[in-house]
Amino acid sequence: MDQRPRSNVRTFRDLIAWQKGVELTQVVYRVTTAFPAGERFGLVSQMRRASVSVPANVAEGYGRGRRAEYIRYVEIARGSLFELQTHAEVARR
């Protein structure tokens, strides 16, 4: 049985968290193109993977169809945001 609350959300694409996650990923990809070539397989790769993980986990959690599963995957997405924040701080320094 579907335990999602009733709303205007029909697919994961309607979720603001997913939309913002995709926007974040676009920004990360754009910014990391300016990184040194030596970071292509290091920091660039890690930052891109962490950013893609955010909307991917939101979508996967939504697709599981149970509120508890959705919450679990949103927590994982949140962890990826903290990971990305750390990578960005390292890059800044």
83 is written with which tokens?
Answer: 């990971």
Please give the pLDDT value at position 90.
94
Please give the pLDDT value at position 4.
52
Give the span between the Cα atoms of 53 and 84, in whole angstroms.
Answer: 10
Residue range 34-56, pLDDT digits in tens: 999 888 889 999 999 999 999 99
| pTM (predicted TM-score) | 0.87
**Residues of the chain where predicted confidence (pLDDT) is lower than 50:** 1
The secondary structure of residue 7, as a DSSP letter, is: S
* Contact (CB, 8 A) for 3 and 11: no
Please give the pLDDT value at position 41.
86
Please give the pLDDT value at position 5.
57
Please give the pLDDT value at position 78.
98
